[in-house]
Amino acid sequence: MKNKFIVLAIFALLTGTVANSAPLTGGVTEIGGGNTVVDAKTNTPIEGAIISIPQLGYKTKTDERGAFSLNATVNDETIMSVNKTGYRPFSVTIDKNIASKPLIIGIQKSEVMDVVIDDSMLHLGDDTFSSGSANSGDFRLKALGPTYVKRFKMTSNTLNCENYLVIGSVIGVDTLMAHKMKQNNIESYSSAPEIYFNGKKIAEIKLNGDNQRIKLPRSAINPDNVNEIVIQTGVNLFNKARLDYDDIEIMNLSIESE
């Protein structure tokens, strides 16, 4: 019997059509080999892609066959990121179960108008959290504080497109919804992290997960000028004694225009 391989492939929708090839669309498929990074469109193996697990301080590279081994011990959910020049930053939340199986990862070529806002791991909060919080066992990076602010340029061409803020991965969000979805096991949930674009609130992050896409209102864009994204983490709604920010980790922020 052939082994089953979990295929992790997250693909953006390009003008309404799915830009990936058939073998990588399913959740589980049968493809030989170990961990591999391929081009999502052509299935060609990608050499020299950097695989990192920031919380473990782990980094490795794909060989000429696009193959890599994960010589890291993954227990709780953690974020794995794949970076390669010319491709969109990719990240995925993995756990012990996923990491123990061969991973086939399809990454997408970047488009001219893509803007990478941040490809590092960001920890928002105050470094205080209960052991039952989502992914608390994995937090290693020091918190930046409750707020992340980043300014970046957007061209006037973006006014002819649909523009999205893409969040590669989010872990540690302790909202009521995350609790209901069993992403944590604490009763004292927090308000949802909020996202602002040029001062206008555009979304709340209610759940942990990968590839969260938030549409940017066209009327709020400053064409050929500086634009600003602010992410404000939530507040524990049960801790009346002091302000307790929800500790969360975010990886890979970019703007994609389609």
Binding site for Ca ion (CB under 5 A): 125-126, 128-129, 133, 172, 174, 244-247
CB 247 → Ca ion: shortest distance, Å?
4
CB 214 → Ca ion: shortest distance, Å?
20
CB 146 → Ca ion: shortest distance, Å?
9
Residues 6+ apart with CB under 8 A from 59: 50, 51, 52, 53
**CA contacts within 13 A on the Cβ side of 42:** 5
Our CB check for Ca ion shows the closer of 141 and 220 to be 141
Our CB check for Ca ion shows the closer of 174 and 210 to be 174
Round the CA-based radius of gyration of the chain to a whole number and report it. Answer: 19
CB 115 → Ca ion: shortest distance, Å?
28
Work out whether strand 90-94 and strand 78-83 pair parallel, antiparallel, or are unpaired: antiparallel
Our CB check for Ca ion shows the closer of 66 and 172 to be 172
SS3 136: helix
Our CB check for Ca ion shows the closer of 105 and 205 to be 205
CB 249 → Ca ion: shortest distance, Å?
9
Contact 194, 130 (CB under 8 A): no
The span from the CA of 222 to the CA of 94, in Å, is: 37
Our CB check for Ca ion shows the closer of 244 and 256 to be 244
